[in-house]
A = this chain, B = another copy of it.
Amino acid sequence: MVCGRISRLSVRDVRFPTSLGSHGSDAMHTDPDYSAAYVVLETDAEDGLQGYGITFTLGKGTEVVVCAVNALAHHVLNRDLRDIVGDFRGFYRQLTSDGQLRWIGPEKGAVHLATAAILNAVWDLWAKQEGKPLWKLLVDMDPRMLLSCIDFRYITDVLTEEEAYEILQKGQVGKKEREGQMLTHGYPAYTTSCAWLGYSDDTLKQMMDANQRWDVPEAVEWMSSLAEFKPLWIEEPTSPDDILGHATISKALVPLGIGVATGEQCHNRVIFKQLLQAQALQFLQIDSCRLGSVNENLSVLLMAKKFEIPVCPHAGGVGLCELVQHLIIFDFISVSASLENRMCEYVDHLHEHFKYPVIIKNASYMPPQDAGYSTEMKAGSVKKHQYPDGEVWKKLLAAQGN
């Protein structure tokens, strides 16, 4: 039973000095310190449960997101959790449409990352109170209730609530079997770090990531000349804002057998809607911490299903694997009902800081069994890595003479 009034929201700037070993560096992000704005929600309920939420960042800028979380906090404090989840669409709209704050978005950049962190904490709290892992909370939820969490504003030209309902109703068929399949075999993973899980060298060669380096003509030219290596996809070939650019690149590369994959920096459902409308991608990479939490990701999963585009989530970073596994397992059980051309990114990194780290078996994500959204970090890790006052940073900054 959901209960309690949100009595406290705290947010911390937690950074891991990954730039020291160049972990996670890519063509555009050369020195990331994998970090998170980490939100904790407390209630006045007797159960003493707390909700934990994160959004992922790369170091500098985390303090900006923390500031944005604090700017949104007044929408959350003193709210009854029943009222929030009873009209989750309304609550989502309240956070994303604040008459003053939306100017610095809307639904993009720091303020949307902050929204994600807060709502991820709400979902964690809700799932904990229901005593279920988040994926199971979603799988068991009445379809009408689930749809009431989604803000359909700006996407009804592609997906109405009624169409979404039909998709979920169809997803009821065979659901039990698929849940059993997940519990036994898990969801297939692939890794982008040096250790590849259960994949051959051939598979390794099949992935290419451009990290937004190219303009549209360059992307077409480079990938055409690399076609002989038969890459499965080219990831982020150009600006994440360039829907028409991705469409042009797709049109040129699909005949060569190369798909376009993007999404980790696509900032909201309106961008994903257009990528689908324009046939601009062949693999859709949702992100659990850039979109407006589960609420907005649900709308993207449903749109992807309508267009029959496989979802291959972005993960890695700090906690992205822990969170996104819930979404993709729900997607398989209740929405897509397919594993064809699908896999979820995995990076073997920083899981030791989480209280409920991912479990990988036979190159697959095994469905989490603990209640919640797997977002809770170990108290000791948070304390040590708080920026700039945690032990780890005090030492590093002293060594740098700052």
Chain A: residues with CB nearer than 8 A to chain B? 28-33, 56-61, 63-65, 67-68, 71, 97-113, 153-157, 212, 215-217, 238-245, 248, 265, 267-268, 270-271, 273-274, 277-278
Contact = CB atoms under 8 A, between A and B. Distances in A.
B71 A61 contact: yes
A274 B30 CA distance: 29
A277 B244 contact: yes
Is chain A's binding surface mostly helix, strand, loop or mixed? loop
Contact of A109 (B28, B104, B238): B104
Contact of A271 (B28, B100, B156, B241): B241
Given A104-B109, A110-B109, A248-B157, A99 B29 contact: yes
A104 B154 contact: no
Contact of A71 (B60, B99, B111, B238): B60
Contact of A67 (B33, B57, B63, B278): B63
A100 B215 contact: no
Given A57-B104, A61-B101, A241 B217 contact: no
Given A61-B111, A109-B109, A154 B99 contact: no
B63 A274 contact: no
B57 A154 contact: no
A29 B102 contact: yes
A222 to B, nearest CB: 14
Contact of A68 (B64, B106, B242, B278): B64
A241 B56 CA distance: 23
Nearest to A112: B109
B110 A68 contact: yes
A153 B271 CA distance: 20
A45 to B, nearest CB: 28
A64 B243 contact: no
Contact of A99 (B30, B67, B108): B30
A277 B245 CA distance: 10
A388 to B, nearest CB: 13
A99 B211 CA distance: 12
Closest 4 CB pairs of A and B: A109-B109, A60-B100, A157-B216, A59-B100
Contacts of A245: 154, 157, 270, 274
Contacts of A68: 61, 64, 110
Contacts of A270: 239, 241-242, 245
A370 B151 CA distance: 49
Nearest to A15: B100
10 contacts: A31-B99, A32-B99, A58-B100, A59-B100, A64-B68, A67-B67, A68-B110, A109-B110, A153-B215, A244-B277
A164 to B, nearest CB: 14
Contact of A110 (B32, B64, B240): B64
A244 B242 contact: no
Contacts of A63: 67, 71
A110 B64 CA distance: 8
A126 B273 CA distance: 42
